[in-house]
Structure 1
Amino acid sequence: MNSLRRMLDVLDLFRPDQPVIDVEIICQQLGYTPASAYRYLRELGDAGLLVRLPRGYALGPRIIALEHQMTDYDPVLVRSRDLVEKLVAETGLDAMISEWYGDAVVNVLIRRGPDPGPAGGGRGRPIDLFHSATSRVVLAYLLPRQIRRIFDAHASTPEAQGQGLEWKAFSKGLLAIRKQGYCISESELHAGRTGVAAPIFDEKQRVLGSMTLVGRNERFRAFQESYLCNLVTTAAAELTARIAQQ
């Protein structure tokens, strides 16, 4: 299992500024030996997850096939589309479904309202863990030791250190989110935009991700805050019930 995890970690090296990787990049950024790097590239290529190019390796066609499979048949997406569409129709705000993956929260479904704007990291991209309602409402329902590990790992980065994150205040804020059952964020991730998010759980009440309504501050304030909070928490609870019944 450890070897499989190490091999799959190679896929995390791909990003917009690094669309092609090679053995040298794997060794430098993951600390693997050249022999391991060559073996993982070969096995991922044989599985169709990577394709060989003159300058190295890029993501392969099987990634696209899996993305299509997930879009059409993923249980969370299939059971959430009508709920998301209803939220957009009733508010004109953007609505999103995001899932917890590794140590990241990733948007998997985004529906735009009539006045769309930036929505987290976009579909398939990780969202800031500390400055968005979408992520914080997920962190609030993790185990305390998980939260502390994630905080220590991310708060020690140069970017986070410049943001003045402090463990006591952060953990206290998560307790408040858990108590009220939702999280509101105003102009944190994107200036002039406000979001409210509620958690989604699996059949064992483990947090899976979140459902979010987000839009321009002016549009958000056109509604009673309690009304929007009730909308998103009710929809998230309905999705949780549907997941438990599948």
Structure 2
Amino acid sequence: MSSITRLLSILELFSEAKPFLSVEDVAAELDCSIPTAYRYVRELLDAGLLIRFAGGDYGLGPRIIKLDYHLRMSDPLLAVGQPIMRELSDHSGFDVVMSRWYGNELVDTHRETHGAALDLRYGRGRPRPLFLGAAPKAILSTFPKAKLAVLFDEYADEIAQSGLGATLDEFRASLLKIRRAGFYLSRGELENSVSALASPLFTDDSGEAVGSLAVIVPTQRLEFANLDRLVESIQEAAARISQRTRALIESRGAGAITPSHTVARAKRSA
């Protein structure tokens, strides 16, 4: 592992359970000397990625917040998706959430709230279970066989507990049904009082989703909802976001997209 990789891996050590770290913690986790840990921590402090507290422990620094802002402003999928999500939330009367798959983590990146806010357990940036709920299953259904095999080797127990199958063949068969449907409806899988209807999001023509769009419905209201209409709405919105994101990436390059460009393009395409 290179020095820069080891240095940046310190940021991965922070979690909800461990929001603060000492230099000794860093040395133990990285299996390095105390002087080396001090050097790594000092470099992250100078970059604004860490901050030192009076007791001597360290936490994530203000530069993280700035980077999150720039991420939200530069992400083409998010920039294209926000106005469409607001429209879907207004028309459906429910909250709408965008989730993204990064490596082997699933996180919510944006939420449009309608009326009284639902108290959801997971919010922007908090990693979610990989195999429970509508969002991950909609995304997983698009993954190629080889990628599913790797996931099954690593997470066989979690996959079985999620009801997706006790063998690789069962896992793939469950996801194939979701793929053919083009959406997945979860009923209280992630939170007892919450159901969700999700469809995959794409940024290219590979057929492999990078995220999902979901309508969040209180389970007690599910029986009164027009599910056929919700399925149609979520699939149409996801298709619009995917199509416009692909077009923007192809015409401008992801790094050249700004929110103003995106909003203007979205208005012209509406």
- The TM-score, its normalising length taken from structure 2, stands at 0.79
Q: Secondary structure at the match of 2:91?
A: helix
Aligned partner of 1:226: which letter?
D
Residue pairs, 1:1-246, within 5 angstroms: 3-29=3-29, 31-34=30-33, 37-53=37-53, 54-119=55-120, 121-156=122-157, 166-168=166-168, 169-205=170-206, 206-246=208-248
How far apart are 1:210 and its partner, in Å?
0.7
Q: For residues 38 and 160 of structure 2, what CA distance do their matches in structure 1 show?
A: 36
Instruction: Note the residue ranges of structure 2 that are not aligned, 5 or more in a row.
Output: 249-270
Q: Does structure 2 conserve the Cα–Cα contact (< 8 Å) formed by 1:117 and 1:215?
A: no
Instruction: State the percentage of identical aligned residues.
Output: 31
Q: Does structure 2 conserve the Cα–Cα contact (< 8 Å) formed by 1:140 and 1:177?
A: yes
Structure 1 stretch 118-127 or stretch 106-115: which is displaced more? 118-127
Q: Does structure 2 conserve the Cα–Cα contact (< 8 Å) formed by 1:80 and 1:239?
A: yes
Change in Cα spacing, 1:217 to 1:162, as seen in structure 2 (3 Å) is: closer
Q: For residues 91 and 49 of structure 2, what CA distance do their matches in structure 1 show?
A: 40
Structure 1 stretch 17-26 or stretch 183-192: which is displaced more? 17-26
Q: Secondary structure at the match of 2:96?
A: strand
Aligned partner of 2:235: which letter?
T
Q: For residues 101 and 131 of structure 1, what CA distance do their matches in structure 2 show?
A: 16
Q: For residues 20 and 45 of structure 1, what CA distance do their matches in structure 2 show?
A: 14
Q: For residues 175 and 48 of structure 2, what CA distance do their matches in structure 1 show?
A: 41
Q: Secondary structure at the match of 1:213?
A: strand
Aligned partner of 2:20: which letter?
V
Q: Does structure 1 conserve the Cα–Cα contact (< 8 Å) formed by 2:21 and 2:58?
A: yes
- Count matched residues: 243
Structure whose CA Rg is larger? 2
Change in Cα spacing, 1:135 to 1:120, as seen in structure 2 (3 Å) is: farther
Q: For residues 232 and 20 of structure 2, what CA distance do their matches in structure 1 show?
A: 45
Deviations along 1:16-44, one digit per CA (max 9) or x if unpaired, are 22111134333444x53236544432332
Change in Cα spacing, 1:19 to 1:186, as seen in structure 2 (3 Å) is: same
Change in Cα spacing, 1:45 to 1:117, as seen in structure 2 (3 Å) is: same
Change in Cα spacing, 1:193 to 1:41, as seen in structure 2 (3 Å) is: same
Change in Cα spacing, 1:136 to 1:17, as seen in structure 2 (3 Å) is: same
How far apart are 1:227 and its partner, in Å?
1.5
Q: For residues 173 and 69 of structure 2, what CA distance do their matches in structure 1 show?
A: 40
Larger relative contact order (CA 8 Å, sep ≥ 6)? 2
Aligned partner of 2:224: which letter?
A
- The TM-score, its normalising length taken from structure 1, stands at 0.86
Q: Does structure 1 conserve the Cα–Cα contact (< 8 Å) formed by 2:200 and 2:213?
A: yes
Q: For residues 74 and 32 of structure 1, what CA distance do their matches in structure 2 show?
A: 35
Structure 1 stretch 227-236 or stretch 33-42: which is displaced more? 33-42
Change in Cα spacing, 1:210 to 1:163, as seen in structure 2 (3 Å) is: closer
Change in Cα spacing, 1:52 to 1:234, as seen in structure 2 (3 Å) is: same
